[in-house]
Every structure is written in C-alpha cells, then in structure tokens.
Chain A
Amino acid sequence: MSFIELKNVTKTFHAGEEEYAALKGVSIGINSGEFVAIMGPSGSGKSTLLSLIGGLSKASSGVVSIDGIGLGGLGPNKLSDFRREYLGFVFQSFYLVPYLTALENVMLPLTIQPGLNGTARGMALESLSRVGMDLKSGRLPSQLSGGEQERVAIARAIVNKPPLILADEPTGNLDSKTGDKVLEMLEGLHAEGRTIVMVTHSEENAKRAGRTIEIRDGEVV
C-alpha cells in the first residue's frame, strides 16, 4: 500500500443546478519519500487533487488515504490534527500572517502543538536557519522580499517535521533564480526522506521531481 493512496476518487462541485466534476475516478499511489510533480493546465483538477490529499476538502466518492489513514472518515477536528501532524503546506502566495514576524509565522503551527514546553522558539529558529532566514527572524513579511517570504513559508511548513510536504505552485510568484533556490530546498527536504507533492505548470520544475503525474479534465493521463 502506498503512503498516499487515491482510489477511484471523484470530486464534484455544484454551481446552481449544474454539477461539475473536477476529478473523475482518479486513482494514484505515491510512495513514502517520493518527490512527485502534478502537472496540468488551469482547471484540470490538480489543485483539487492537492486539497484532497491535504484533507482540506473531502472526496465526493472514492477513497483518499495517507499512511493508511482514510481521510473521508475523519471529522473536522481529527482532520485538523492530521494536517498538523502529517502535513506542511507551501503556497504560491506564501500566506504569511502580516502582523506576525518571520519567527512568529514559523512558530504558528507550534502554538497548537501540545507538549512542546518552551522548545517552540528554538524549533522555529532552527527551521529559519535551515532556509537561511534566521538573521531576519524579527522582520514582518512586509519587510521581506518575495523569495524571503517563500523561504519563511517553507520554514513554517517544515517546523513540525511533517512527513509530507504539499507545495502549490511554490515558484509561481518568484523570479527564476529565487524559484530555483526554493526548488533546491524542496529537493533537500526530499533528500532527507520527506514525501513531496508539488503542483506546477512548469515542465522545468516538474523535471526536478522524481515522477510527474499529469492531469487533464479531471483525469490522470
């Protein structure tokens, strides 16, 4: 059984009386430690796929399981706990909280983690150090460049050492040089044994992953 397992997954949306299928019977298996790129044009369903793997939405039919945990059967709180323990998200728009410093943004996932007993700050600083942002830990997001913000977002995604990192167009808002550095960081995390699932438009970026899954019109091609 794969670490990430999707079996005959369908996801439909309703727009008034019309029903629209974003994913149509998708079945995918991703092993632990893999670096997988999901490619496809806009509206193909790749972001929907990522949201299902991330437990942010539930499949209309089929099974989504991570590390043997069926996400469809989890209630809202259990899903939140699952995300906290298993996932690190890296977003195209960074989504740093504007009124928190870089350090506080990285500490954010740890504020709700029980049993840290004052080690959160150290963990966050270590995470920032890994992405080369420890010297700018006291700055607000508005005082950082786009690349620096993305690095802080990566530090936040890895601070609680999740086994799975989901990256949604992580270089979408960055210049090629900065984007390349972000991809290097993801490769580094992969090298440590983490599973990486990255949604991207770019074939160049997809080549950095070990495997590419292409989606068109809600189906794996």
Chain B
Amino acid sequence: MKLIHISLNNLLRKKGRTFFLVAGLAIGIGAAVAMTSVGDAMNREVMHALDEFGANILVLPASDGLPLSYGGLTVSAVNTVGRELTTHDVDRIRTIKNSQNISTIAPKLLVQAEVRGTKVLIAGVDFKAEQRLKKWWRVAAGTNPQGHGEALIGKDVALRLQLAPGDGIPLGQENLRVAGVLGNTGSQDDGLIFADIQWVQQHFHKGNAVSLIELSALCSGCPIEDMVAQISSVLPGARAVAVKETVELKMQAMHYFHKFSLGISALLLIVAGLIIFFAMTASVKERVQEIGLFWAIGFRTGHIIQVLLTEAFIVSLLAGFAGYVIGVISPLFIAPYLMSAYNLTFEFDPALAARALASSVLVGLLASIYPAVRAGRLDPVEALKTL
C-alpha cells in the first residue's frame, strides 16, 4: 500500500461527497470550456459578418506616392505612373491561391463630370457587387438601377442638383436616368453618382479602364497580408493595400470577445476553486483525528500534505475530463439560443482539452494547498483528543 491508496480509498468510500466535489469543479471547468467554445463560435460569426461588412483590400494602380482618400479609407495614392487597371485585372485577382476567401470584388471607375454647372464625381460600379459590399445602402426613393443608362445617386447630389427618381442627368449628348436616391450613408457616397461601370467606360471613352478595385475578403480564414501579397504578385503593375481600419476593427472585436470569454471563465474557475477550498477545509476538519493518528504513527508533515493534495489532484483530474466533455457538448444545445451558430459541431480540440485539464488540476491544487498545509501543521495532541 502506498500513500495514493489512502487518498483513493477515502475518495471511493465517500462516493457521494467525491461525486459532488467532482461535479462542482467539472461544472466550473465545463462552463469555462463552453464559454471558450461559444466565444470562439461568436468570434467566427462576428468575423464572418465583418468580412461581409465592407471592403478590406483596395487594389490601386501603381502610384507616385500622392495620398488619396476614398470612402473615408486612407490609401497611399491613385495617380498612376504605370499602367492603369482594367477589368481583366478583376479576373486575374480571381486566380490567387486564396481566391476562395474573396467574397466580393467591386471594380470602380471614377470620372469627374459637370452637371448643370456643378462638378460631380461619377463612380462606375458593378451594382450587384457594390450592393454586396455595402450592405448599409438603402434606396430611399425610387428603385435600384435596372439598365445600363440608370444611376443611383447620393442624398447630397439629389439635394444639390434637385434630382429625383425618373429625372435625367445630362452628360454630354446622353442623359443618365436616376433610378433611385440613396438614403443617408454618412459617407462620401452621399456626394457620388453611381452608374454602371460599362456605361461609364463607354460614355467617357475609357475602354476597359478601372480606377480601383475594392475587395471584401473573408480574412478569418487566412492572413489578409498573404492575400495582399498574392494579389500583388498577379498584378505586378498594381498596388494592393490592406485597409487597416477594417482589419483593426475585426481584431478589436476578436479581442473583445476573447477578453469577455476569459473574464467569465476566470470567474467560473474562481467559484470552482472556492468550492474545492471549502470542501477540502471541511474534509480536514472532519478528519482531524485521522490526521492525528497519521502523526502518531510517524507520518511527516509532507506525507499528510501529500495524501490531501493527491486527493485534490484525483478529483480535479476527473473534473477536468468531465468538464471538458460538458464544455464541448453543452454549446451544441446552448448556442442556438444565443446566436445563429447552427454550424457549431463537436470537434476534439487537444489544446482545449489540455487547457481544461491543466486549469482543473491547477485550480484544484491551488485551492487545496492551504487546507492541506493547515492539516500538516495540526497539533497532534489536539487532534488526538484522548491523549
């Protein structure tokens, strides 16, 4: 018989107490694991939503270094020194290694024009791609453009030029028909006229030129810098830029959820630790005479502490296993009520399992050190009251 048998026998004899002790810690660990799993799933969900929320990569012609601000996003420059971008470049972008991570490619041709004596900027766009990119767009009046000669105008343009759906925008020999007016976006879009890119190319004799290409990349699946590098390699005459604001927003969101999960998990582990602490303290009080006997037959302080900490280790190891199982299964039932994480599936994550076990053992041992050391310092005469 070794000291571990004393610990094991005590746990086995008090099955009910051991069960509730394991259950208490397991629920704490399970909740922490579940928080991590749900937090990760929420992260993925938010990341996915953010991935679709505007562009996060801009492709520009090679620049001479002059700055350009477009849509509130600061990029390096657009004044071309090499070749201009063309619609063929859009097809090239689709050939990059991480093309499956690209959700939208929205090319734009920016042209300055004069309408009724006022200079305006006309943006030739692919309306379908643009509307996928700018989910916040709302047509306040009229409809979405249906044909080549139709336009969607910003709120400020409509006010300044007194334009309404159905009106014509005189551009040289042709009129561009206003199909709809955008609601307030609070961005540069309020001052733009959006028309079909092919119409703009033809009308302004720009061939297949493109001023810039906006991309929305699902960057949670790959580092966005990798995609930028891949685009740069297929478009050597162009300059691809990661829009840091969007990326940083995503990183902030990830950071927020990570911190939230960690905070709640830490709180749960502290509560679990307190359960162990009080249970071990009660156990030591209950076993005072037994500890006194251990003293009398020659146990050292270290032996007594070893017996008690071994019990705590066994309990917390079992709780770690049980907690991990609870933690990975419970989100399957809980998550649908919290969010639309229907694709959440059980996956064995060795790193999470190892963290759950390590946390459980650490919490169990830390919470038991004080009661165990106190037991090791009991006055044997007090413990053995008959002496």
Binding site for B on A (CB under 8 A): 47, 50-51, 54, 56-57, 76-77, 80-85, 87, 89, 91-93, 95, 97-100, 104, 107-112, 120-121, 156, 168-169
A195 to chain B: closest CB distance in Å?
17
User: Which residues of A are found within 8 Å of B293, using beta-carbon distances?
Assistant: 91, 95, 97
18 A-B Cβ contacts within 8 A? A47-B387, A54-B296, A76-B300, A77-B302, A80-B295, A80-B299, A84-B298, A85-B298, A91-B384, A92-B386, A99-B9, A99-B13, A104-B5, A104-B9, A108-B297, A112-B298, A120-B1, A121-B1
User: Measured between alpha carbons, how far is A165 from B47 in the docked complex, in Å?
Assistant: 74
User: Measured between alpha carbons, how far is A109 from B386 in the docked complex, in Å?
Assistant: 20
Residues of B contacting A: mostly? helix
Give B289's nearest chain A residue, CB to CB. Answer: A95
Is B88 at the interface (CB under 8 A from chain A)?
Answer: no
Besides A84-B297, A92-B386, A109-B298, 4 new A-B residue pairs in contact (Cβ under 8 A), listed by A number? A83-B296, A91-B387, A111-B2, A121-B1
Is B10 at the interface (CB under 8 A from chain A)?
Answer: yes
User: Which residues of A are found within 8 Å of B379, using beta-carbon distances?
Assistant: 57
User: Measured between alpha carbons, how far is A100 from B11 in the docked complex, in Å?
Assistant: 11
A33 to chain B: closest CB distance in Å?
22
User: Measured between alpha carbons, how far is A108 from B379 in the docked complex, in Å?
Assistant: 20
User: Which residues of B are found within 8 Å of A50, using beta-carbon distances?
Assistant: 387
Q: Is the CB of B3 within 8 A of A112?
A: yes
Chain B interface, number of residues (Cβ within 8 angstroms): 30
User: Which residues of A are found within 8 Å of B292, using beta-carbon distances?
Assistant: 95
Binding site for A on B (CB under 8 A): 1-3, 5-6, 9-10, 12-14, 289-290, 292-303, 379-381, 384, 386-387
Q: Is the CB of B298 within 8 A of A100?
A: no
Q: Which 9 A-B pairs have the closest CB atoms?
A: A84-B298, A99-B13, A109-B297, A95-B293, A80-B300, A83-B298, A56-B380, A107-B1, A89-B296
Q: How many A-B residue pairs have CB under 8 A?
A: 93
Q: Is the CB of A56 within 8 A of B3?
A: no
Q: Is the CB of A100 within 8 A of B6?
A: yes
Known: A47-B386, A56-B295, A56-B381. A77 touches B13 (CB 8 A): no
Known: A57-B380, A91-B386. A77 touches B14 (CB 8 A): no
Known: A56-B381, A56-B387. A99 touches B14 (CB 8 A): yes
Q: Is the CB of B290 within 8 A of A97?
A: yes
Known: A97-B290, A100-B9, A168-B386. A112 touches B380 (CB 8 A): no
B37 to chain A: closest CB distance in Å?
38
Q: Is the CB of B1 within 8 A of A77?
A: no
User: Which residues of B are found within 8 Å of A51, using beta-carbon distances?
Assistant: 380-381, 387
B18 to chain A: closest CB distance in Å?
11
User: Measured between alpha carbons, how far is A50 from B381 in the docked complex, in Å?
Assistant: 10
Q: Is the CB of A168 within 8 A of B387?
A: yes
User: Which residues of B are found within 8 Å of A120, using beta-carbon distances?
Assistant: 1
User: Which residues of B are found within 8 Å of A97, using beta-carbon distances?
Assistant: 6, 290, 293
Known: A91-B386, A99-B12. A77 touches B301 (CB 8 A): yes
User: Which residues of A are found within 8 Å of B302, using beta-carbon distances?
Assistant: 77
Known: A99-B10, A112-B303. A81 touches B386 (CB 8 A): no
Give A93's nearest chain B residue, CB to CB. Answer: B386
User: Which residues of B are found within 8 Å of A83, using beta-carbon distances?
Assistant: 295-298
User: Which residues of B are found within 8 Å of A156, using beta-carbon distances?
Assistant: 297
A169 to chain B: closest CB distance in Å?
7
User: Measured between alpha carbons, how far is A89 from B13 in the docked complex, in Å?
Assistant: 25
User: Which residues of B are found within 8 Å of A168, using beta-carbon distances?
Assistant: 386-387
A133 to chain B: closest CB distance in Å?
17
User: Measured between alpha carbons, how far is A92 from B384 in the docked complex, in Å?
Assistant: 11
User: Which residues of A are found within 8 Å of B13, using beta-carbon distances?
Assistant: 98-99
User: Measured between alpha carbons, how far is A97 from B384 in the docked complex, in Å?
Assistant: 13
User: Which residues of B are found within 8 Å of A112, using beta-carbon distances?
Assistant: 3, 298-300, 303
Give B293's nearest chain A residue, CB to CB. Answer: A95
A22 to chain B: closest CB distance in Å?
11
Q: Which of A57, A81, A95, A110 contacts B381 (CB 8 A)?
A: A57
User: Which residues of A are found within 8 Å of B6, using beta-carbon distances?
Assistant: 97, 100, 108, 111
User: Which residues of A are found within 8 Å of B301, using beta-carbon distances?
Assistant: 76-77, 80
User: Which residues of A are found within 8 Å of B9, using beta-carbon distances?
Assistant: 99-100, 104
Of A57, A80, A110, the most chain B CB neighbours within 10 A belong to A80
User: Which residues of A are found within 8 Å of B10, using beta-carbon distances?
Assistant: 99
Q: Is the CB of A77 within 8 A of B300?
A: yes
B253 to chain A: closest CB distance in Å?
53
A72 to chain B: closest CB distance in Å?
16
User: Which residues of A are found within 8 Å of B296, using beta-carbon distances?
Assistant: 54, 56, 83, 87, 89, 91, 95
User: Which residues of B are found within 8 Å of A169, using beta-carbon distances?
Assistant: 386
A73 to chain B: closest CB distance in Å?
17
A115 to chain B: closest CB distance in Å?
14
